[in-house]
Amino acid sequence: MAFVAAAGLALAGMATKSFAADTQSTLQKVLSRGELIVGTGDSNPPWHFKDDQGKLVGFDIDIARILAKGLFNDPNKVKFVSQSDDSRIPNLVTDKVDITCQFLTVTAGRAQQVAFTVPYYREGVGLLIRKGGSYADYGALKKAGSSVTIAVLQNVYADQMVHEALPKAQVDQYSSPNLMYQALNSGRADAAATDASSVRWILKQNPSQYLDSGYYWDPQSYACAVRQGDQVWLNYVNTALLTAMTGVDFQEYAAAFKHWFGTTPAPPQIGFPQEYR
């Protein structure tokens, strides 16, 4: 019996070694291929969209190029696979992409299907105000109570979301961002409740037309995602992202942040690592 048990353990050990030898990390596959394959979108500025020349650009695109530069010392060695929002996880699971970088919100439910990297952006909801309108900031909007009308994208939680910041405001829901901003521009709405990144992007494009209310709420983290079970690949991506946000590649991350959001993130403090505070 002892011999059988020992033989079984030996065979199990051999099987484990064989499995390990046959299972190659995505990191090695990407390096051997000479190109990173990234799943992302193509119609959501400032994250991923096509510019006037038809080139794919955006903050997600810059994040992917930072990863490619770390791999190959060349930010252009990346192939982008355009995918819909509902394909972000399936394309990972079916091995169509090496990684998804597509303003993917970190949730506990999604973490059961994919492995999230460290977050590279903290999203939230902000209020975009028209210059020359009746209200100049969040304080004025809140003080006005039920006299204020807020435009928001149609969603089952839209009223609840707006009322977290402005409990007495009237809420008008619209089926598309264009209709929401038209309501703001025409004066039918006093402010538009939208992603903080959209507020910053629109302000950067139209500084003479809009104001930022100065208030943000409903935080959520954006991260890239990789397939579960590949710790080597996840470790690489996390290291590359942390190096960009807090280390030697900070200037590249900061330049992309400034370009798309109009502000420069505070540089990493020298001394005790800020990410552990």
Has residue 197 been placed in a domain? yes
- Domain assignment of residue 57, given as a range: 25-121+221-265
Has residue 14 been placed in a domain? no
Domain boundary among 219, 236, 254: 219
Which pLDDT belongs to residue 13?
44
198 and 81: one domain? no
In the chain, how many domains are there? 2
Cβ(60)–Cβ(253) below 8 Å: no
154 and 208: one domain? yes
pLDDT tens string 120-162: 999 999 999 999 999 999 999 999 999 999 999 999 999 999 9
Has residue 96 been placed in a domain? yes
CA 95 to chain centre: 21
Which pLDDT belongs to residue 274?
79
Has residue 111 been placed in a domain? yes
234 and 203: one domain? no
42 and 178: one domain? no
32 and 79: one domain? yes
With cut-offs at 50, 70 and 90, classify the pLDDT of residue 1: very low
Which pLDDT belongs to residue 130?
96
110 and 229: one domain? yes
197 and 156: one domain? yes
225 and 117: one domain? yes
Look-up of token digits 């807090």:
246
pLDDT tens string 213-247: 999 999 999 999 999 999 999 999 999 999 999 99
Q: Tell me the C-alpha to C-alpha distance, in Å, between residue 226 and each of 25, 63, 101, 231.
A: 11, 14, 9, 10
Has residue 7 been placed in a domain? no
Residue 151 makes CB contacts below 8 A (sequence gap 6+) with 172, 174, 180, 181, 183, 184, 188, 189, 191, 192, 193
| Integer Cα distance of 243 and 236 in angstroms | 10
pLDDT tens string 13-25: 433 343 344 478 9
117 and 130: one domain? no
43 and 110: one domain? yes
Has residue 184 been placed in a domain? yes
Specify the 3-state DSSP secondary structure of 114.
coil
Q: Residue 28: which of 227, 224, 232, 237 has the closest Cα?
A: 232
81 and 215: one domain? no
Has residue 272 been placed in a domain? no
- H or E element in which residue 192 lies: strand 191-195
Has residue 17 been placed in a domain? no
pTM, two decimals, is 0.88
Q: What CATH number is attached to the domain comprising 132?
A: 3.40.190.10
Q: What is the mean pLDDT of the chain?
A: 92
- H or E element in which residue 252 lies: helix 250-261
141 and 195: one domain? yes
Is residue 10 classed exposed, middle or buried when 0-12, 13-18 and 19+ CB atoms within 10 A define those classes?
Answer: exposed
